[in-house]
Amino acid sequence: NAGVMQNPRHLVRRRGQEARLRCSPMKGHSHVYWYRQLPEEGLKFMVYLQKENIIDESGMPKERFSAEFPKEGPSILRIQQVVRGDSAAYFCASSLDRGVNTEAFFGQGTRLTVV
């Protein structure tokens, strides 16, 4: 049973370009979460999705950032017109359900560098 798969592992974009980060959750998991981690900092919640629905996007910047989790295919975090401040590690996690005793499984992360 494959774990959470994120790709690419490393992504370099020039300022103004678009970044697309992909996340395939664990098999059977329909809940996906995106977090951002700056160097030497904790995980900042960005968005929580459940198949085709955005449950909570309270941590997502209002502009340039969007996320989706279509019925078929991976979840996508999209950053338009990237700026240097977007450079960070972006982690995706998935869980089986909304139970409080359900752990989240994390992908390896995508390290975005904006040059």
Chain residues that interact with other proteins, rule: CB under 8 A: 33, 35, 41-45, 48, 55-56, 89, 91, 93, 98-106, 108-109, 111
Of 76 and 89, which has the nearer Cβ to other proteins?
A: 89
DSSP, collapsed to helix, strand or coil, labels residue 13 as: strand
Residue ranges in 11-73 assigned as alpha helix (H):
none
Q: Least Å distance between CB 81 and other proteins?
A: 26
* Interacting residues of 12 by C-beta distance below 8 A, sequence separation 6+: 112, 113, 114, 115
Of 17 and 30, which has the nearer Cβ to other proteins?
A: 30
